[in-house]
A and B are shown apart, each in its own frame.
Chain A
Amino acid sequence: MSTAEFESVDVLESEITTPAAAATTELEARNVSVWFGQRKVLEGVNMSFPKNSVTALIGPSGCGKSTFIRTLNRLHELLPGAALAGEILYEGRDIYSRDVDPVHIRLAIGMVFQKPNPFPSMTIRGNVLSGLKLSGMKRSNHDDIVEETLTAAGLWTEVKDRLDRAGGELSGGQQQRLVIARALAVQPHVLLMDEPCSALDPASTLKIEETIRQLSKEVTIIIVTHNMQQAVRVADNTAFFLAAENEPGRVIEQGATTEIFGNPQDERTLDYVNGRFG
């Protein structure tokens, strides 16, 4: 009951502040609910992602943030028992409509995962370029792409002398930056990042955040993070997810990051962003 109330508060507010946002919306979730088997893990998520914006998804562990972003590029359906209701519109079209090829969606909406997953049989260079090979995408000047993306991911200086070594030889944090570079090489329009910095040191984290800001000039970014400061630093908008005991996760509050952190409307958001629970 209470969530419906808060949702309507949000909607009212948004109508006042951003009447024209719909025109630039790149990705939009409408009433998305998600199940694993019979268990509902996410309910009624409505969210829109304006083009070239950064949106942070925050909330306690297990509330469905990873599950939600996996529905955004059709990776959710690969899990056993996965089911879904609602719509996800990318550039105005439902990505789950039956004439949409998931391959196109995943190419346009890239993803960086919680755990670094470089391909062990490929070199560092091969890993960066792997997306081009796997998707059959043609881009010239591979050397430039490698340097550009590795620089953007903040890894270039560390690996430029050993591009032909195996990707698995890098440290965990370096591997994470490698897979970020890999995701950038196919030039996605939207980049989903699931706690990309959870394995990184503060310096690399800052580099990645800089990269995110830089990228957001051309790419729409959705980032899951447990780091409040990070959300404040990088995100234009923030959405707070919460799952009450034995209930599916819901979006409690969403809006401009400054609002969510500076002037949250919901008690629970206030508690969470101030580190008082979760």
Chain B
Amino acid sequence: MTTQTLDPTALPNLAEQRPQRPWRKRTPRFKLAVVLAVIIPAVVTWFLWQTSTIPTPVLLVAIYLPMQLIASTLASIVTRGRRGIADSIVIVSAIGATVFSLVILLSLIGALIVRGWKALSPSFLLQNNIYISPSTPLEYGGIGHAVLGTALIVFLASLVAVPIGIATAIYITEVRGRAVPYVRFFVQSMSGVPSVVAGLFILTTLIVTGALTQSALAGGLAYAILMLPTVARTAEEVLRLVPDELRTGALALGSTRARTVFRVVLPAARTGIVTAIILGIARIIGETAPLLLAAGNSDQTILNPTGSPVASLPTYIFNNVALPYPDAVTRAWGAALALMIFVAILFTLARVLSRGRLGR
């Protein structure tokens, strides 16, 4: 007996075949159900919003959300049977939670833009704060010195925290030495250190003793204390995800452990390591207290990492936001907006650069 039972004349012509993705097609019934499930709750809510006096948040949470859940569940029962119920609840909750956090995030960004937009201009981004008093009009002065200061401090902090953090992670996951439990315990405890304590630590051990003055270096060291545990913990988690087969595979080729780590394990975890660094920078870049104590403040553009106090965006915002002058407050919002934009650019760059040709 053979497996061939087909009539060749009934088959379509091979040359006419085109690659297709039939799994993306939806039945009309499915499309209709989805459209109805989206439109009906929205229309009803809109109608109530127009005609009744129910406050908008109550309307959204107490009426729209349950209605949307019910509508989606019905839609999936219609299209997929009972099996679809759990799916639809998960999907609607996930979309709901995403929208909720997006709304909060967007309103925050919106507030920043609305209040800070007026301040933003090329001169605002480039000039420093010399001869500027809180009542000086917006056209004069800027945050160039604070941008440079923040960049310098974060760079110095990364210079210290990134190598130590990754080395710590390598010790925990690759070296697996005897001190691992203690190291993990200390790293974990360090992540609980309040940022002001990091500033105080640098102040009392390095500045009061005269080893350093308030400066970018001192601020960077305070930042490094905060950044280190985040980098170390995140890097540890991503290194843990690298399958052991890769390690044994490299070792079986005669690789030393060091080469295994640097040529195989770290490259495999590259995007994750970049995430660790990004999270570390995100952890510190807005911290104000450590810089007030360890870096001080300045109106001038300072590029020398030691020797003199230096400005930074958080301290600039801190100093301006509570002043009784509208222009000063606008400057603070403008600085906050600028900080956010710089962070976004930096992180996007890091993502793009780390993507590479190979790997995940």
Measuring CB to CB, which residues of chain A are less than 8 angstroms from any residue of chain B?
7-8, 10-11, 13-14, 17-18, 21-22, 25, 28, 30-31, 33, 35, 38, 40, 43-44, 46-50, 55, 74, 77, 82-86, 96-99, 101-103, 136, 236-237, 239, 254-256, 259
Known: A18-B1, A18-B5. A84 touches B19 (CB 8 A): yes
- Cβ of B61 within 8 Å of any chain A Cβ, yes or no, is no
Contact A21 B1 (CB under 8 A): yes
Q: Select one of A44, A82, A96, A255 contacting B3, CB under 8 A.
A: A255
Residue from A8, A35, A77 within 8 A of B19 (CB atoms): A35
B6 interface hit (Cβ, 8 Å): yes
Q: How many A-B residue pairs have CB under 8 A?
A: 103
List residues of chain A with CB within 8 A of the CB of B21: 77, 82-84
Contact of A83 among B11, B12, B19, B80 (CB under 8 A): B19
Please tell me if the beta carbons of B19 and A85 are within 8 angstroms of each other in the complex. Answer: yes
Q: Which residue from B1, B11, B22, B27 sits with its C-beta under 8 Å from A30?
A: B11
Most buried by A among B4, B14, B22: B4
Decide: A96 and B23 in contact? CB cutoff 8 A. Answer: yes
Task: Name which residue of chain A comes closest to B26, CB basis.
Answer: A98
**Which B residues have a C-beta under 8 Å from some C-beta of A?**
1-8, 11-12, 14, 17-23, 25-27, 29-30, 80-81, 83
- Complex Cα–Cα for A31 and B13 (A): 9
When distances are taken between beta carbons in the complex, the residues of chain B under 8 Å from A49 are 3
Q: Which residues of B contact A84 (CB under 8 A)?
A: 19-22
Do the beta carbons of A13 and B23 come within 8 Å of each other?
A: no
B83 touches A103 (CB 8 A): yes
> Known contacts being A31-B11, A46-B11, is A14 close to B2, with CB within 8 Å?
yes
A273 to B21, CA, bound (A): 35
Q: Is the CB of A77 within 8 A of B2?
A: no
Docked pose: A177 CA to B6 CA in angstroms: 36
Can you show 29 pairs from A to B with CB atoms below 8 A apart?
A8-B8, A11-B4, A11-B7, A14-B2, A14-B3, A14-B4, A17-B1, A21-B1, A28-B5, A38-B19, A43-B14, A44-B17, A46-B4, A47-B3, A47-B4, A48-B4, A49-B3, A50-B3, A77-B23, A84-B19, A84-B20, A84-B22, A85-B20, A96-B22, A98-B27, A103-B83, A237-B2, A254-B2, A256-B1
A14 to B2: give the CA distance in the assembly, Å.
6
Q: A96-B23, A98-B26, A136-B83 are in contact. Are A259 and B2 (CB under 8 A)?
A: yes
- Within 8 Å by CB of B6, from A48, A99, A102, lies A48
- B20 — nearest CB in chain A belongs to which residue? A85
Dominant SS among interface residues on chain B:
loop
Nearest chain A CB to B17 CB, angstrom units: 4
Q: Assess the B2–A13 pair: CB atoms within 8 A.
A: yes
* Distance of A187 from chain B, by nearest CB (Å): 18
With A17-B1, A46-B6, A99-B27 already in contact, 7 other A-B pairs whose C-beta atoms are closer than 8 Å: A11-B8, A13-B2, A38-B19, A46-B11, A239-B3, A254-B4, A255-B2
Per the bound structure, the CA–CA distance linking A8 and B11 in Å amounts to 12
* Closest B residue by C-beta to A8: B8
Known: A85-B18, A86-B17. A101 touches B4 (CB 8 A): no
B22 contact set on A, CB distance < 8 A: 84, 96-98
Given contacts A84-B19, A84-B20, A98-B22, contact A236 B83 (CB under 8 A): no
In Å, the complex CA distance between A84 and B25 comes to: 13
Name B6's closest neighbour in chain A (CB-CB): A46
List, in ascending order, chain B residues with CB within 8 A of A237's CB: 1-3
Q: Write out the residue numbers on chain B whose beta carbons fall within 8 Å of the beta carbon of A85.
A: 17-20
